[in-house]
Amino acid sequence: CPRRPTKEATIMGPVRSVTRELGTVGYAHGSIAAELGVTATPGSPWDSFAQSWNDLPFDRYMADHGRYRQRRYAEFHLVPASGTVELLPHRAYTQTTTTNYLNGGIERLFAPMQAVTASSPVLRTALRWACGELQALTGHPAWFAQVFQNRIICGPGLIGKPTPEGAHHDGVDYVLTVMVERHQVVGGVSVLYHDSDHRKLLELALDEAGGFLFNNDKTTLHAVTPINSISPPTEGHRDVLIAIFTHMEDGKIPLTG
């Protein structure tokens, strides 16, 4: 469905100290507007980027046989110091069943991210920014990013489940979630839990385009509550960009998941 706003919608305000918050409490949230320097207006780089969510095929690997998730996938090699954002050859995504009891244990060959999206200045600026924060925090100079375009659908008789596996780790170092669009939905609240005692740390509804949640995957568990359509029989959807980061040693792609 089209996403042409009728008036200019600015992508929220500037971010806080992401590096400090990731290092102290294990998560940070805010907006990437200052880093991207764009607004959600017709014809803008952000608008063109967001439009690509209208062409995501269904996820064929849902163990619960759900027809509520559409996605594309890509992998990147990133070196913040040089500004390197290298799209890697497409391959299957894998997770162990220990990390993902529901959909893990198999090779999931998702549809590749389209070339125009993978080369989008919005995506590449966001990845450079995120890895710059991670290098400042950890000192690691090179990163491996696994990037998903996710659309979760809801409608009459269909509840959308952004995290059907429940609260979980992704088996990486850090996870970045960026809101692209919420359309006619309620729910979809991001929740973080402390890894050791499952104590709830944060509940956050990413309501605005460009809103982000960045979390340490080793010290926190993350989940998102289900979504429902605001006014059935209208279909709703929740579009997000998810980038999961693992540091690289000696230029080698790490084992993840």
E runs forming strands in 80-224: 84-87, 93-94, 107-108, 143-154, 174-183, 185-187, 190-194, 200-204, 211-216, 220-224
Mean pLDDT of the chain: 89
Residue at 2 is within a domain: no
**pLDDT by residue (tens digit) across 89-148?**
999 998 777 776 667 677 889 999 999 999 999 999 999 999 999 999 999 999 999 999
Helix (H, G, I), strand (E, B) or coil at 157: coil
Domain hosting 236: range is 18-247
Pairwise pLDDT comparison (8 vs 40), residue with the higher score:
40
Residue at 4 is within a domain: no
Residue at 252 is within a domain: no
Structure tokens given for 21:
């918050």
pLDDT at 8 exceeding the cut of 60: no
Q: Span 197-215, mean pLDDT?
A: 94
**pLDDT by residue (tens digit) across 229-248?**
997 778 999 999 999 999 99
In this prediction, what percent of the chain has a pLDDT beyond 90? 71
Residue at 255 is within a domain: no
Which value, in Å, is the radius of gyration of the alpha carbons in the chain?
17
Q: Cα dist. 129→46, 84, 171, 175, 206 in Å? A: 16, 12, 22, 13, 19
Q: What is the DSSP letter of 230?
A: S
Residue at 13 is within a domain: no
Residue at 8 is within a domain: no
**CA–CA separation, 27 vs 202, rounded Å?**
9
Residue at 202 is within a domain: yes
pLDDT at 15 exceeding the cut of 50: no
Residue at 196 is within a domain: yes
**CA–CA separation, 146 vs 245, rounded Å?**
7
CATH number at residue 237: 2.60.120.620
Closest to 184 in 3D by CA, of 205, 156, 213, 154: 154
pLDDT category, 42, cuts 50, 70, 90? low
pLDDT at 7 exceeding the cut of 60: no
**pLDDT by residue (tens digit) across 160-185?**
999 999 999 999 999 999 999 999 99
pLDDT category, 83, cuts 50, 70, 90? very high
What global pTM score does this model have? 0.90
How many domains does the chain contain in total?
1
**pLDDT value for 41:** 66
